[in-house]
Structure 1
Amino acid sequence: MPEGDTIHRAARVLGEALTGQAVLRYWAHRPQLLAPRREGHVITAVEARGKNLLIHFDDQRALYSHMRMTGAWHVYGPDERWRRAQARARVIIESEGHVAVCFDAPVIELLTAPELLRHPTLSRLGPDLLAEPLDEDGILAGFARHPALPLGEAVMNQGIAAGIGNVYKSEMLFLARLSPFLPVEAMPQERLRKLVQDTAAMMRRNLGPGMRTTRTGPGSRLWVYERSGQACLRCRTRIQMRHQGEQARSTYFCPRCQGVG
């Protein structure tokens, strides 16, 4: 699933292509996304909120999309060849000079301003880790509301902080030498704050082009994610993976570096 840095990157590319532009052609794969028509409306902003993307129009409506595991927004020139099959398109927005296509996204909604305010996902989001300025106190307050939750589940809770997915969960807890299975209440406030600051900084470093990385030097781009059974790049202990939480998300960790018994 795309994490917050990927969605912010997509929002920036879409925004540069579409903001201030009138919609010349609009197509969607479901009738609910077609009324009222978008042709002639001006796109006023493109916004990322954690893993959620919003395209705002001048009539106070917004096109909301969540990529889940399969979706992606692409921007093309008018005659450019698409990198995915047209049958996989869910929304097409054409402006002067650009064609924006949403492929394979399972969640797309056209929302009015009141619907946006009370949206069941968006209204429950915690502070965005890539927002400027970073709302550290708001995120720490979110952690405090879930004292018994294991850290590996808490950092994935979008109501605490929006934007973290499986990759950053495993990588940042490893870098902080924290057990994913330790409850929030066992964590000193200053260590939680440092975790928030470092995670936000790492995500900001990955906003540019290229593949996401959490380490430099030769070898793997990542410390532990999807490296189960391989040697820890710090201590040579075998990296392990456990499923965690109600959705059984994969959590990668070094038992020695992170003190997991």
Structure 2
Amino acid sequence: MPEGDTVWQAAKRLHTALADKVLTRSDLRVPKFATADLTGRRVLDVTARGKHLLTRIEGGLTLHSHLRMDGSWRIYTANQRWNGGPTHQIRAILANTDLTAVGYRLPVLELLRTADEHRAVGHLGPDLLGPDWDPERALANLLQDPARPLGEALLDQRNLAGVGNVFKSEICFLLGVTPWLPVGALPADRAAQLPVLAKKLLEANRDRPTRNTTGLRSPDVFVYGRAPRPCLRCRTSLRVADQGDGSRERPTYWCPTCQTGPTPGPRHRTPGGAHSRTSRRTDN
């Protein structure tokens, strides 16, 4: 799933292509909004809120989208061939005289009154890349359920918005604790570092074409996707196991030497897989 840095980049591209321009074509290919016509309206701005995209349009309207695992927005020039997927996967088309934005495989697409944006994003905690960022509030949110595993708490967008599975694993490694450590067991000094570290990582990557947490040319991450290769610090073989609250489990990577705290039992996930960009659904 795209994380806060990736969604921030998508918002920037959409804003550059659409903002302050009048729509000459709009096509929302979801049943509830299929008859909505935004043609003739000016796009005011496109902004990211955690992992959500808000396209604000004159007349007090907001087109809210969420990429989840497979969604994407692509920008095309007038003569450019659309190549984001087959036509039946297109969920939205927004065009002006110069550029066309095409939304593929968008699992969430809804047209709201701008005054009602809170219905879509009001549940989110402080946004790591947003103007509402508040490290003290984010940490307080994380600590309000002290028995919860740190990795699950970091993915819960109600605590802080923008961390996904890659940053979850990398943050835990840099803090020197396993993702299964209860939040309340996090030493006070590391708890104080957590929101600062999370913001530093996302800010450092919001303008990069390739995410990097190591500061090295290669590898670009410390643990995520690297099991069973050796840890960059201690050379111990990295490990991977699923972590989740039952609604969805995510591959979670850690170093058994550099990170202290609980770990799952002997049933580990088979290593492998490329980088991927928890009712308690916590990935919203």
- 1:150 maps to which residue? 149
Structure 1 stretch displaced more, 77-86 or 201-210? 77-86
Matched AA of 2:203: R
Matched AA of 2:118: L
Q: Please state whether the residue corresponding to 2:8 is helix, strand or coil.
A: helix
The alpha carbon displacement at 1:15 in A equals 0.6
- 1:70 maps to which residue? 70
- 1:202 maps to which residue? 201
Contact kept in structure 1, 2:129 and 2:202, CA below 8 Å? yes
What TM-score, normalized to structure 1? 0.94
Structure 1 stretch displaced more, 227-236 or 158-167? 227-236
Contact kept in structure 1, 2:169 and 2:224, CA below 8 Å? yes
The alpha carbon displacement at 1:250 in A equals 1.5
The alpha carbon displacement at 1:82 in A equals 2.0
Matched, 1:169 2:168: yes
Q: Distance in 2 between matches of 1:196 and 1:168?
A: 12
What TM-score, normalized to structure 2? 0.86
Matched AA of 1:136: P
Q: 1:59-208 residue pairs with structure 2 within 5 A?
A: 59-87=59-87, 88-119=89-120, 122-132=121-131, 134-208=133-207
The alpha carbon displacement at 1:11 in A equals 0.4
Deviations 1:123-157 (A, max 9, x none): 21001011246311110121122111111111111
The alpha carbon displacement at 1:184 in A equals 1.1
The Cα RMSD (Å) is: 1.6
Contact kept in structure 2, 1:226 and 1:252, CA below 8 Å? yes
- 1:8 maps to which residue? 8
- In the alignment of these two chains, the number of paired residues is 259
- 2:232 maps to which residue? 233
Q: Distance in 2 between matches of 1:133 and 1:65?
A: 20
Q: Distance in 2 between matches of 1:103 and 1:126?
A: 27
Structure 1 stretch displaced more, 68-77 or 215-224? 215-224
Contact kept in structure 2, 1:149 and 1:183, CA below 8 Å? yes
- % identical equivalent positions: 37
- 2:279 maps to which residue? none
- 1:258 maps to which residue? 259
- 1:242 maps to which residue? 241
Structure 1 stretch displaced more, 10-19 or 207-216? 207-216
Q: Please state whether the residue corresponding to 1:118 is helix, strand or coil.
A: helix
Structure 1 unaligned segments of length 5 or more: list them: none
Q: Distance in 2 between matches of 1:117 and 1:229?
A: 43
Contact kept in structure 2, 1:254 and 1:260, CA below 8 Å? no
Q: Distance in 1 between matches of 2:216 and 2:183?
A: 32
The alpha carbon displacement at 1:7 in A equals 0.4
The alpha carbon displacement at 1:162 in A equals 0.5
Contact kept in structure 2, 1:171 and 1:223, CA below 8 Å? yes
Deviations 1:40-74 (A, max 9, x none): 11111111011111101111111111111101111
Matched AA of 1:116: E
Contact kept in structure 2, 1:91 and 1:101, CA below 8 Å? yes
- 2:19 maps to which residue? 19
Contact kept in structure 2, 1:32 and 1:110, CA below 8 Å? no
- 2:271 maps to which residue? none
Q: Please state whether the residue corresponding to 1:56 is helix, strand or coil.
A: strand
Matched AA of 1:74: R
Deviations 1:159-189 (A, max 9, x none): 0000100000001111121221111111244
Distance 1:13 1:108, change over 3 A: same
Contact kept in structure 2, 1:64 and 1:110, CA below 8 Å? yes
Q: Distance in 2 between matches of 1:192 and 1:132?
A: 22
